[in-house]
Amino acid sequence: MSPRRPPEGPRNLQSRSILAGQAAAAAAEVEQALAQPVDPTAAAFFDVDNTIMQGASIFLLARGLHRRQFFTTRDIARAAWQQAYFKYVGVEDPEHIEQARSAALKFIAGHEVRELEEIGEEVFDEYMAEKIWPGTRAMAQWHLDRGQRVWLMTAAPVEIAQVIARRLGLTGGLGTVAEHVDGVYTGRLVGDMLHGEGKSVAVRALAESEGLDLERCYAYSDSSNDIPMLSLVGHPCAVNPDGHLRSHAKANGWLVRDYRTGRKVAAASLKAGAVGAAASATYLVGKRLRRRL
């Protein structure tokens, strides 16, 4: 019987975020064929979900993959329950933690990179194009018109980030990097999902490789998880922000832009409340399970 590895501590988890950011920056396909930008030291970094696009891009991708029979509804439910169980019951098995970390991309194991890229193009037309926020798209165009480069930053697969960037006429997209060998996905991630601290690492790496002055750069996001990335640049902007980010932005004098209608904001609040209630119920169940264990 092989010895069990110790649970991953905060330092190891942080190193995975750093690895994710470095992998995303390395995998970013910066269009070398583009003419040299008029303003080469300034750029803009846009989060995708609820910033560029209404909703979650990974969910829209999952809808497209589900339609193409990549996985079943039962598979999704099982993965969601496993992650909730491990989170609230407190199981520290490293193998289970690794499974939960890579579950979001594991369903593409055995498929070719080219296949996901082609499906990504179709999913953009089917679901994503109509969900682009016109206001945020206009801001991205504002930067392009001034000769600045514009990159997308997302926890979705990097292949999808690049599809969205290409279809919107942006410079490139950085996202979560799935390991592949000879063009076939293994079902594992390189590092972790690209979010939080991972995005700030990716921005720093890209700024260094592209000669960007971060004080002259811009960043846009809806989520407080992206405060590390927003804090890196000289011009941060909260777009359709959650409550925590809105408060943080106001306290720090950051620009705030909200393109949601009053009805959509109210609906989002109700949805958040419902999710919170569900999470509370799951927490209580987990608490009881812990007592029994």
Beta-bridged to residue 180, according to DSSP, are: 185
User: What per-residue confidence (pLDDT) applies to 41?
Assistant: 95
Q: Report residue 85 as tokens.
A: 């169980």
User: What per-residue confidence (pLDDT) applies to 250?
Assistant: 97
**Which has the closest alpha carbon to 25: 181, 170, 166, 210?**
210
Place of tokens 């798209």: 137
User: What per-residue confidence (pLDDT) applies to 194?
Assistant: 86
- The residues carrying an active-site annotation are 47, 49
The sheet with strand 218-221 has its strands ordered as 172-176, 149-157, 43-47, 218-221, 235-239, 255-257
User: Element (H or E) spanning 152, and its range?
Assistant: strand 149-157
User: What per-residue confidence (pLDDT) applies to 192?
Assistant: 77
How far apart, in whole angstroms, are the C-alpha atoms of residue 2 and residue 242? 45
Low-confidence ranges of the chain (pLDDT < 70): 1-37, 75-106, 262-293
Beta pairing class for 184-189 and 178-181: antiparallel
User: What per-residue confidence (pLDDT) applies to 167?
Assistant: 95
Q: What is the pLDDT of residues 194-252, one digit of tens each?
A: 888 899 999 999 999 999 999 999 999 999 999 999 999 999 999 999 999 999 999 99
Strand, helix or coil at 176? strand
User: What per-residue confidence (pLDDT) applies to 102?
Assistant: 53
